[in-house]
Amino acid sequence: MSRLIVFNKPYGVLSQFTAEGRWQGLSDYLALPGVYAAGRLDADSEGVLILTDDGALQSRIADPRHKLPKTYWAQVEGIPDEAALTTLRQGVDLGDFVTRPAAARVIDEPAGLWPRNPPIRFRAAIPTRWIELVISEGKNRQVRRMTAKIGFPTLRLIRAAVGEWTLGELQPGEWKELHV
């Protein structure tokens, strides 16, 4: 039976066990020998990170060929209009590649959301909104690049789900183990 860990990765933590520079590593939160991250989540992003001891499962989760949906909540600067959301839904030309079409919608601030440490920058004259994006790939800083390209830079990014695995009630730094 394979081990599968759903971890709520806090801001400032790398998707590896070893710390580097100012960033913490997973070993600061998890003492689980033999499990490895299935995919990555940038240090300045928060939320679901899957770890497993099963190499084949790790590959299926991380490899974009399997098109496992990843759901993100992005707090963006400004108020995206329908045209901006349509661009996300059709795919965004980021210069080095065109993203696959994404599901995109404006949402209310997610219920039960924890405060980020450190807090995002706040500018009184510029409102923010939350959008939910569901993508089936995960290239380097893709969601941040997508929202910036349409004119709404991401201030805070939380991965809410990878496939069927969600944050649920997990707080930053907490994890749960599932047997698959």
Catalytic residues: 42
3-state DSSP helix/strand/coil % of the chain, to nearest 5: 15, 35, 50
Angle in degrees, CA 36, 97, 74, rounded to 5: 60
Spatial distance between the Cα atoms of 78 and 176, rounded to a whole number of angstroms:
35
- What count of other Cβ atoms lies within 10 Å of the Cβ of residue 95? 8
Q: What is the DSSP letter of 51?
A: E
Among all chains, which residue has been given the structure tokens 């992005």?
74
